[in-house]
């Protein structure tokens, strides 16, 4: 009974996904008629992302005691993002070399692609040229940069900006409440997503790339379980592992259903809160991780690289090729989702680095499409795992206990303030 109580919401989401998958398998391409239901849920979730990031991040930074704390969090976070990305790349190269995802695939590279150019304007990743463009989920990194500056400016004013800080504190709670309402639709919305996914891509899944898909799903599952467990254990021992897996299933299932790291930000932030992350780390690491920390995308890039190396008889184990593969996969995974209208950034990086013909781009795009769901789940959940490790590195081994006590004290103070307001 305790398991059912603790994982009730996860079981409901899982049931919706299973039913949707069955419907998609039975209906086939006709399952696309359920797309409006899926889009309704996703659009509601997308509408929450920008205000959630802005309010929660401003609140977290404005309440920090010093900007040194912010710099420490950002430095530790970026370091861990790079390290985990490199580990993911090396792991996937080993898996692909051993199992050979291209074996038995009869691929004719005679296709062309209309949009074979990627936007590699890295300035657009960090800035926009008009204020209103900040409020689009297509420009999340630019929004985060602006929000950090806004939060620092607010914090620097001290008591003069106390009313502003209080406003964002309360507004952040309102937005989180709205997200809770939207998540009531998650079982139906995710079920509709899986129905259309299975119905439309069933033929591709059982086609010549089926071996690659099976290998990737197996490798992703192993990486998902081991990497997250290790991160949680390093962060807070057995208690960290227990609390992580208790709360991480909603973000996992949301990312699987939507194939969007951005769409999973709200559920990821909620999971971080329930795990016990401090607001300043949770509200910084999760949104930035959705853009810059994508170990699942690294796995996909390596799969593409090794697949094409096998087809064109390139030895991936040569030191130069090995290092190039790791660097390209980590870089491409960081920027391909963060650059607005990034197009085929990852594929262009790979073609440029290894000299593959441009006709290989459609095949790599297809590989990325059919492997997107499990990769997104790794992208999403890894952000919470890294945030937990940041807590451990900055706030010590007892961070969970300290954060719990701090939040209980804050709650008591808010209740006391509320009673005083009523009496007055």
Contacts of 312 (CB under 8 A, 6+ apart): 356
For residue 212, how many other CB atoms are within 10 A of its CB? 24
What confidence score (pLDDT) does residue 337 get? 55
Whether 227 and 382 have beta carbons less than 8 Å apart is answered as: yes
What confidence score (pLDDT) does residue 335 get? 66
Say how far residue 49 (Cα) sits from the centre of its chain: 13
Quickly list DSSP for 119-157: ---THHHH--SSGGGGGSGGGHHHHHHHHHHHHHHHHHT
The residue assigned the tokens 């073609």 is: 351
What confidence score (pLDDT) does residue 114 get? 40
The string of pLDDT tens digits covering residues 276-314 is: 999 889 999 999 998 889 999 999 999 999 999 988 889
Token output for 288: 């930035």
Q: Domain count for the chain, please give it.
A: 1
Alpha-carbon gap, residue 258 to 377, rounded angstroms: 10
Domain span holding position 360: 2-423
What confidence score (pLDDT) does residue 207 get? 56
Record the pTM.
Answer: 0.82
The string of pLDDT tens digits covering residues 59-118 is: 888 888 777 888 899 999 999 999 999 999 999 999 999 998 887 665 555 444 344 444
What confidence score (pLDDT) does residue 196 get? 85
Alpha-carbon gap, residue 407 to 140, rounded angstroms: 28
What confidence score (pLDDT) does residue 339 get? 44
Say how far residue 207 (Cα) sits from the centre of its chain: 28
Spans of the chain below 50 pLDDT:
110-120, 338-343
For the chain, give me the number of helices (H) and strands (E)?
18, 0
CATH number for the domain spanning 42: value is: 1.10.3860.10
The residue assigned the tokens 């590279």 is: 109
Token output for 326: 């790791």
């Amino acid at each position: 009974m305790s398991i059912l109580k603790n994982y009730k919401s996860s079981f409901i989401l899982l049931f919706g996904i299973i039913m949707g998958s069955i419907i998609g398998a039975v209906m086939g391409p006709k399952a696309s008629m359920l797309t409006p239901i899926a889009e309704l849920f996703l659009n509601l979730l997308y509408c929450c992302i920008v205000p959630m990031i802005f309010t929660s991040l401003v609140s977290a930074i404005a309440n920090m005691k010093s900007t040194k704390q912010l710099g420490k969090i950002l430095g530790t976070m970026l370091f861990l993002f790079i390290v985990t990305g490199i580990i993911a790349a090396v792991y996937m190269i080993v898996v692909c070399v051993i199992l050979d995802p291209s074996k038995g695939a009869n691929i004719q590279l005679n296709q062309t692609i209309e949009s074979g150019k990627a936007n590699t304007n890295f300035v657009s990743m960090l800035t926009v040229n008009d204020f209103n463009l900040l409020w689009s989920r297509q420009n999340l990194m630019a929004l985060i940069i602006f929000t950090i500056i806004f939060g620092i400016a607010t914090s620097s004013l001290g008591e003069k900006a106390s009313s502003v800080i209080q406003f964002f504190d309360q507004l952040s709670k309102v937005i989180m409440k709205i997200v809770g309402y939207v998540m009531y639709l998650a079982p139906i919305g995710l079920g509709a997503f899986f129905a259309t996914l299975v119905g439309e891509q069933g033929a591709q899944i059982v086609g010549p790339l089926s071996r690659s898909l099976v290998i990737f799903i197996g490798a992703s599952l192993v990486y998902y379980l081991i990497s997250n467990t290790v991160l949680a254990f390093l962060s807070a021992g057995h208690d960290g592992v227990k609390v992580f897996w208790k709360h991480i299933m909603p973000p996992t299932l949301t990312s699987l259903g939507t194939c969007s790291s951005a769409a999973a930000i709200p559920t990821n932030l909620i999971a971080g809160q329930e795990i016990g992350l401090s607001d300043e780390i949770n509200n910084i690491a999760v949104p930035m991780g959705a853009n810059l920390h994508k170990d699942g995308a690294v796995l996909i890039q390596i799969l593409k690289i090794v697949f094409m190396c096998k087809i064109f008889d390139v030895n991936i184990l040569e030191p130069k090729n090995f290092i190039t593969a790791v660097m390209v996969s980590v870089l491409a995974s960081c920027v391909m989702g963060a650059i607005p209208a990034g197009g085929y950034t990852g594929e262009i990086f790979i073609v440029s680095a290894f000299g593959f013909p441009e006709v290989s781009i459609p095949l790599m795009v297809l590989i990325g499409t059919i492997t997107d769901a499990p990769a997104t789940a790794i992208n999403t959940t890894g952000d919470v795992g890294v945030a937990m490790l940041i807590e451990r590195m900055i706030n010590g081994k007892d961070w969970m206990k300290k954060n719990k006590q701090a939040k209980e004290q804050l709650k008591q103070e808010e209740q006391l303030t509320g009673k005083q307001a009523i009496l007055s």
